Amino acid sequence: MSNKSHLGHQAKKRFGQNFLHDDAVISRIVDAINPCSGENLVEIGPGLGALTEPVIERAGDISVVELDRDLAHRLRHHPFIAKHLTIHETDALKFDFSTLAAEQPLRIFGNLPYNISTPLIFHLLTFKDKVKDMHFMLQKEVVNRMAAEPNSKTYGRLSIMCQYYCQVIPVMEIGPEAFQPPPKVDSAIVRLIPHDEIKYPAKDVKWLERVTREAFSMRRKTIRNSFKRLISAEQLEELGIKASLRPENLSMHDYITVANYLTDNPPEL
């Protein structure tokens, strides 16, 4: 078997495909997800069904979102699991996940393609009111960024937006040898549990997205510089935030404070 081929399927670089093949790792991941019968389970990028099959064994019917036409065809004709699948052959980045949320909230899981993992997570967070939890396999570095605290090099926009909407729980790390072809990076599983209630809500989340994007696009600069088109150093000080700090020194609460100020006092851009 060539190192690019798995069960006769060529891994496609443009889809960022790396297929899980280590049974012990697969069992641990399925244990972490803990799928149960009657739940509204949705898998993103089922690939060759490494997680799909054991999840169906435990929980019965599930929905899957698969962009790769060859893999979707393969799943439709799978001898064991086809009858348990509702297949949405589409791009998860454009898919309206709220259409799958009936009476039951969604439990979303998947081995996410590394090349779209961050934009896909931002897309999924927009459906968080319909979601019970999410379990994703990602690059370990992405999971570290999602869970990062202020004053660390990995803390950034992804940390703030994920933690604003969800509890972020790193579950386990997985080496490259568990995949075919082996990726050049370590992977990790993360569990995201949407907050029932956001303790300090942004008045307009678009402003929170904007201030975090502006800040971390120039993370070496002080916030006096990165925010200068939005808010003055004096106004920051009035909000109790030192203008000489760098973006990674501000807490999520600080960013929400700035976003709420700008919602009420939008700058003339």
Cite the annotated binding site by residue number: 18, 20, 45, 66, 91, 111
Q: Which helix (H) or strand (E) holds 138?
A: strand 131-139
Q: Position 61: which residue type?
A: D
Tokens read off for 187:
């992977």
The whole-angstrom separation of Cα 73 and Cα 60 is 20
The whole-angstrom separation of Cα 110 and Cα 112 is 6
- Asked whether 93 and 69 are in contact (CB, 8 A), the reply is no
- The bridge status of strand 62-65 relative to strand 85-88 is parallel
Nearest to 239 by CA among 217, 214, 264: 264
**Long-range contacts, stretch 70-73, CB < 8 angstroms, 24+ apart:** 70/9, 71/9, 71/46, 71/47
Dihedrals phi, psi of 253, to nearest 5 degrees = -60, -40
Q: Position 263: which residue type?
A: T
Q: Which helix (H) or strand (E) holds 40?
A: strand 40-44
Q: Which helix (H) or strand (E) holds 141?
A: helix 140-147
CB-based contacts of 118, cutoff 8 Å, min separation 6: 142, 158
* Binding residue positions for S-adenosyl-L-methionine: 18, 20, 45, 66, 91, 111
Using CA of residue 77, residue 86, residue 88, residue 115, what is the dihedral sign?
Answer: negative
